[in-house]
Amino acid sequence: MATNSTALPKTPATTRIQRRFEELGRRSEMGLVAFLTAGDPSLEATESFVLALDDAGADVVELGVPFSDPLADGPAIQRSSERALRAGATLPGVLDLVASIRRKSDVPLVLFSYYNPVLQMGVERFARRAADAGADGVLITDLTPEEAGEYRRTVRAHGLDTIFLAAPTSTDERLARIAEASSGFLYVISRTGVTGARESLPEDLPALIRRVRRVSRLPIAVGFGISLPGQVSILGGLADAAVVGSALVQEIEQASSVHAAREALGARVRVLKHAGKTGMSRREPGA
């Protein structure tokens, strides 16, 4: 399932992301994508956090490359980016972190960045180094398919998935274009606005997911505002994975030590993953 029929010549699923979603599909299990800002509070700490997330059952880990002007993010991730930058995190440092994690874990890794740091490194150099380090996919927050022609070719040529965002404001025509440019999975933004935990899911989310399904067979991960087991449970009937970010970043902010943060992250992800495996989220096999 879930390979993009229009984007590239048909090849067997090759990235860790694609394989993980195939497994989840076979088990008809809801996936959990966990986001952390790389380097908050340090790159070493992030490494131990990612390993804990993997142990706790996260299916994909997104590593946020900290940026000085994160205009798509709410306060929690903004503060986290500031902490990471103050601690000296840079894109080359994040790529070294990926390599180090990859020596210890097989968890699918997505690099999540604003465009400018990637552009300054050079897209070709970035893609080569990311692939060599063992990353599996890239998502650039402020890059849409229209501006991404060369980026997409370059990143794909290095065997990395290109994940694009779909939004409630995207027209059907745009959704088709986004689906065509994406591989691995589609990241559906649940609501207009910035990242950040919220109490409820928007009412128009099922309609948005139906619109996306009409134009794409890629797995759908829903993010922005997801933090509670109940939300993950409800999403299980609609999407293939839930993305949790701000809630995890806040666990790190509130913890008294790196050790405590690691414990809290593990506990939070176990609860969310459990909600994804049970209750309302259980879907009929093959549905």
Helix residue ranges per DSSP H, the chain: 16-26, 43-56, 75-86, 91-102, 115-121, 123-133, 149-157, 172-181, 205-215, 229-235, 246-254, 258-277
Total residues at the site for another protein (CB under 8 A)? 40
Task: Tell me whether residue 49 or residue 164 sits nearer to another protein (CB atom).
Answer: 164
CA distance 37 to 14: 26
Q: Which of 57, 74, 229, 236 binds another protein (CB under 8 A)?
A: 74
Q: Does 85 engage in binding with another protein (CB under 8 A)?
A: yes
Q: Kindly indicate which of the ranges 11-19, 112-120, 205-213, 235-243 contains the residues binding another protein, using the contact rule CB under 8 A.
A: 112-120
Q: Does 256 engage in binding with another protein (CB under 8 A)?
A: no
Fill in the per-residue mask, 162 to 191: x = in contact with another protein (CB under 8 A), - = not in contact.
--xxxxxxxx--x---x----------x--
Bridge partners (DSSP) of residue 37 are 64
Q: Does 225 engage in binding with another protein (CB under 8 A)?
A: no
Q: Kindly indicate which of the ranges 38-46, 66-74, 155-163, 245-253 contains the residues binding another protein, using the contact rule CB under 8 A.
A: 66-74
Kindly state the DSSP code that residue 66 receives in the 8-state scheme.
Answer: P
Q: Is residue 199 annotated as part of the catalytic site, yes or no?
A: no
Q: What count of other Cβ atoms lies within 10 Å of the Cβ of residue 165?
A: 20
Q: Does 13 engage in binding with another protein (CB under 8 A)?
A: no
Task: Tell me whether residue 142 or residue 263 sits nearer to another protein (CB atom).
Answer: 142
Q: Does 221 engage in binding with another protein (CB under 8 A)?
A: no
Bridge partners (DSSP) of residue 36 are 63
Q: Does 146 engage in binding with another protein (CB under 8 A)?
A: yes
CA distance 181 to 192: 21
Set 54, 62, 161, 240: catalytic member: 62
Instruction: List the strands of the sheet with 60-64, edge to edge.
Output: 161-163, 137-140, 109-113, 60-64, 31-37, 241-244, 220-223, 186-189, 165-166
CA distance 281 to 272: 11
Q: Which of 1, 72, 87, 271 binds another protein (CB under 8 A)?
A: 72
| Residue 212 contacts residue 179 (beta carbons within 8 Å) | yes
Query: Which residues between 115 and 134 bind another protein (CB under 8 A)?
Result: 115-121
Q: Kindly indicate which of the ranges 16-24, 140-148, 154-162, 234-242 contains the residues binding another protein, using the contact rule CB under 8 A.
A: 140-148
| Residue 268 contacts residue 247 (beta carbons within 8 Å) | yes
Q: Is residue 146 annotated as part of the catalytic site, yes or no?
A: no
| Residue 226 contacts residue 188 (beta carbons within 8 Å) | no
| Cis before 219 (ω within 30) | no
Enzyme catalytic residues: 62, 73
Binding site for another protein (CB under 8 A): 67-72, 74, 78, 85, 90-92, 114-121, 141-144, 146-147, 164-171, 174, 178, 189, 192-194
